[in-house]
Amino acid sequence: MLDEAIPVRTVRAHCTDKPWMTPNIKALIKARQKAFTKGETPKYKSLHAKVTKLISNAKATYYKSKAEGSHQSNPAKWYKTIYKLAAATEDQQSLSSPDHADLMAIADRLQRSFIKPGQEIQPDTPRLQA
């Protein structure tokens, strides 16, 4: 009788799952994909919005819980946690090397930023006669 009222559902957790991924989110993703394959567009759109909102909330809760707490009591631990969280998102970025034109543009911008303050300074010493 209990199985009829509350059926047991199996949701697999994978080692590649993000730490904020919950069984509820995974079940909704599965339902969303099922609606997509069946061509049920309104149901798919509704589930897509739900999944997006749940993932956003789960991420915010996870990162907030990781960042809070040890900031005042243990700043070193807090810094390490923040560093790990930042590094986890960095490896998602592409690691393409910049081309030569980009490097030249960066170098020119850097050079202008160092030259500009010197151009605004007027010398206090008078010019010497030769």
pLDDT at position 73: 74
Q: How far apart are CA 46 and CA 67, in angstroms?
A: 32
Report pLDDT digits (tens) over 59-109: 888 888 877 766 677 778 777 777 777 765 444 444 455 566 677 888 888
8 A C-beta contact, residue 58 and residue 25: yes
For the chain, give every domain's residue range. Answer: 19-90
Read off the pLDDT of residues 121-130 as tens digits, 9 standing for 90 and up.
666 667 777 6
User: Which pairs with CB-CB distance under 8 Å and at least 24 residues apart come from 51-57?
Assistant: 51/25, 54/22, 54/24, 54/25, 54/28, 55/20, 55/25
Please give the model's pTM, rounded to 2 decimal places: 0.51
CA 81/CA 71 separation, integer angstroms: 10
At 127, is the secondary structure helix, strand, or coil? coil
R_g over Cα of the chain: 28
